[in-house]
């Protein structure tokens, strides 16, 4: 769910190449792509208890978003955001770290956290991760001919 939008922010639904203006309150499906302009910023709740702030000049795809409860207790919270370029910051509820699988994928690797606040930036062929609170695990993607998508 889109919580707020400032400046130029567009999105496209999964399987579409037509971008439209993103608006607050809008619900996004798995596979949706978001891009921000030079003045664009959006805050999106990927799953309950996990939100991202998409900075200016950024492009990403919402590859996975899943949430389940068992009564009043969170059973699982899962998200995979593919950051193509730019910067996103993630704030994840630290009260349920064992049920949270929140990952940001870049062309270079995957940054995963459970109950923290961190940011990931992709500039050209480099990725940067900054952790403000908590811990983030990094997994580098192995790039060899014929091994697309494998990790080490």
- CA atoms of 42 and 39, how far apart (whole Å): 10
| Per-residue pLDDT reduced to its tens digit, 40-59 | 999 999 888 888 999 999 99
- CA atoms of 120 and 21, how far apart (whole Å): 24
| Per-residue pLDDT reduced to its tens digit, 136-151 | 666 676 665 555 544 4
How does strand 73-92 pair with strand 100-105? parallel
| Per-residue pLDDT reduced to its tens digit, 112-137 | 875 566 677 888 887 777 777 665 66
H-type alpha helices, the chain: none
Residue 8 DSSP code: S
Q: Is the pTM of this model over 0.85?
A: no
The percent of residues above 70 in pLDDT, for the chain, comes to 82
């Amino acid at each position: 769910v889109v919580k707020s939008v400032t400046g130029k922010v567009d999105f496209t639904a999964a399987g579409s190449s037509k971008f439209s203006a993103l608006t607050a309150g809008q619900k996004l499906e798995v596979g949706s792509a978001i891009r921000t302009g030079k003045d664009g910023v959006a805050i999106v709740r990927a799953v309950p208890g996990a939100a991202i702030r998409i900075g200016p000049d950024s492009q990403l795809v919402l590859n996975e978003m899943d949430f389940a409860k068992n009564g009043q207790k969170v059973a699982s919270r899962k998200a995979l955001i593919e950051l193509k370029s730019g910067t996103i910051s993630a704030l994840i509820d630290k009260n349920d770290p064992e049920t949270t699988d929140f990952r940001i994928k870049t062309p270079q690797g995957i940054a995963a956290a459970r109950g923290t606040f961190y940011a990931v930036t992709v500039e050209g062929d480099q990725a940067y991760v900054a952790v403000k609170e908590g811990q983030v695990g990094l997994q580098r993607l192995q790039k060899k001919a014929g091994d697309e998508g494998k990790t080490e």
